[in-house]
Structure 1
């Protein structure tokens, strides 16, 4: 019994300290375990939210793929050889000389192999402007005297100053991108004179030296507004594996946005084309990978067969979960979509020590299905 005259003995004090320390250890352990569970839960919730928001933004942009291609309905699908020129200016892409490889597919998927894929969504009009449709389509009334000659057309009101014109031969697959420098409505003529800047309109001798085509009467002339930094509007989605960020480049903005942050903790993106058996058919007959033969750079015959894309995003929790002593936390971890496993060959060595969420969706290309392109 405690004696007020004598106080506590040393043994009693030590016993009290030991009991107090044991209680502190137990409470600290319980708090640590609870905090770890809370971080795992909130980290998983963050990955869930990040993936949902990122997928929504991707889906919103992809559904509008092909916006504004109405007037070029009968023009660009027949282009097997597209002639275009740039003087090195950023307004036409920054390259110098002939612009090869222009592709008018509504969407393009670049295969990343063991790395994330890249998705390019294309429009012939500003996707941020509801009324941003092309000016229109007309035909040549007379044969051009030379590749640099003015265009004598049935209706000059189809185009406006500053438009790009896609001139397409009735047969043979030749097409040329020109910049309209002057519209003569009464004379029904379109000028595409090489000016001081020279975007899209090279000097007359360039046409001759490079044997660019001369277009006959009844060739189609389709006009559309140029984008900032290229002939057509593009939104390019990619994943920066080092920073684990979903990024977007967008030339519909002025100045053009380059690799702007869309969402954090996105580690992978995989995509496939949903293609129909024929242009006139909307039903998807096959899902093809961008690395499959003939689909690394789809040609004109396949542009309008792309009716949908299948997309998968992988997000990661920020909480590191330490494995048990001697264990490998990636040994039992796998990531997969409904159409196959996701390669983790280029993921960090400790990638399995985190929690992941895989999001999938099928995005129909409405403008293609509705016959707008």
Structure 2
């Protein structure tokens, strides 16, 4: 029996090796790239969102800290400026380093300087001292003139280099700020008004002892001598804590020592001695208002006024006594802009006050926010950013308690 040809030799195997064609490989690479780009885009978006959220949280936290520092300054405003329930004086003579800082200016525990428009920031200054312990006035026992030592009762705990205010409450005369330049001494020559007294030396070459034409103070009023005068100890510092928006930050500095600090662009740098300290970043606007009472004798705030309102850019002595609180609005901005307009063009509060940007307080007297002039990078508008409004009401406790 014959076998077929195929069965006589090796059997041919017609097999094809498996693999990818060029087309299949290119499709696979394209799909992989698409997936990779999608994942990378999602990661970048999440990272950017994380940065935005973190920056917003940081801005919010720093703004809250800033408001707490302002509240603290408000609590100490007016320390050492009152005696027996009344201001030590209506006006103030004060100098620093040979330069007169207050030539008989009306004394305000809190002073607001208006920025000039709804889109410009105001500044707020709280005046007080670093005194600790009892702040009751010490009676002046002997008349004193321009450069003479001041003789007071032994009740005061004065020390070398202390700052103090001398004034005659109710006389209408200004107080004078001075520095004790020698260790106080005790003696028996007290103008016949006490058996012992303490002498406070005030050398004219001291940092604070620049006297223009201050009144003469004494135990009682007699001719050109005004009394009964008292001396209030202020401790080591006379402070004017000023809060202002500079270089995209809310800063704090002692305006009595350094009235006009300057800063360079972000990151912040304040050259020179006694520089300003940044306390909140990414701040674009701050507005403040006086909380006023109907009269100096009342502690009830009956209204809120801007510092540019009639009569309030330079308050009179009578109106200065009506200021019992300050309220502040601070607007912070997110660091990262959005590709779309994420902030509404306007906001109208409950009292129909229209803001170019977010709203703050709900009453009709609220400060008007205008962010249209806020500086932004090229290709962006102020509406590409998110904003947060922080607000606080700061009672002037020393003013209220001393009333």
What TM-score range do you get, normalising by the shorter chain?
A: 0.7 to 0.9
Name the CA distance, whole Å, in 1 between partners of 2:207 and 2:64.
44
1:173 aligns with 2:196: no
1:192 Cα offset (Å): 4.6
What's 2:32 paired with?
20
Indicate the residue corresponding to 1:94 in structure 2: 97
Which residue number in structure 2 is paired with residue 343 of structure 1? 370
Distance across 2 between alignment mates of 1:72 and 1:105: 18
For the pair shown, the structure with the greater C-alpha radius of gyration is: 2
Counterpart residue number, 2:156: 158
SS in structure 2 opposite 1:337? coil
Partner Cα distance (1:110, 1:351) in 2: 25
Greater relative contact order structure (CA < 8 Å, 6+ sep)? 1
| Native 8 Å contact 1:251 1:257 kept in 2 | no
- How far apart in 1 are the matches of 2:125 and 2:199? 32
Cα deviation for residue 272 of structure 1 reads 0.7
Match of 2:188 among 182, 186, 205: 186
- TM-score, length-scaled by structure 2: 0.71
Aligned residues: 338
Q: Which moved more, 1:215-224 or 1:11-20?
A: 215-224
What is aligned with 2:9?
none
Whether the aligned pair in 1 keeps the contact of 2:110 and 2:125 (CA below 8 Å) is yes
**Matched residue, 2:288:** 271
Q: Does residue 1:112 correspond to 2:112, yes or no?
A: no
Which deviates more, 57-66 or 33-42?
Answer: 33-42
**Per the alignment, do residues 348 and 369 of structure 1 end up closer, same or farther by CA in structure 2, a change over 3 Å counting?**
same
Following TM superposition, by how much is the alpha carbon of 1:102 offset from its aligned partner in structure 2, in angstroms?
A: 4.4
Q: Which residue of 2 aligns with 1:245?
A: 249
Distance 1:227 1:160, change over 3 A: closer
Q: 1:122 aligns with which of 118, 121, 127?
A: 127
Residues of 2 paired with 1:352 and 1:304: CA distance?
41
**Alignment map for 1:278-317 (pairs within 5 Å):** 278-317=295-334
Structure 2 equivalent of residue 90 of structure 1: none
**2-structure distance, mates of 1:303, 1:183:** 37
Q: In the alignment, does 2:233 pair up with 1:224? A: yes
Shift of 1:236: 1.7
Q: Which runs of structure 1 show a deviation greater than 6 angstroms over 4 or more consecutive aligned residues? A: 327-330
Selected match of 2:395 from 344, 353, 364: 364
- Say whether the 8 Å CA contact 2:288–2:328 is kept in structure 1: yes
Which of residues 277, 281, 285 is equivalent to 1:260? 277
Q: Deviations over 1:210-251 (max 9, x none)?
A: 5x53446421122223554xxx223222111x2x21211148
**How well do the aligned residues superpose, as a CA RMSD in angstroms?**
3.5
What is the CA deviation profile of residues 58-92 of structure 1, one whole-angstrom value per residue up to 9, with x for unaligned ones? Answer: 2233233223445475453x434x444x4xxxxxx
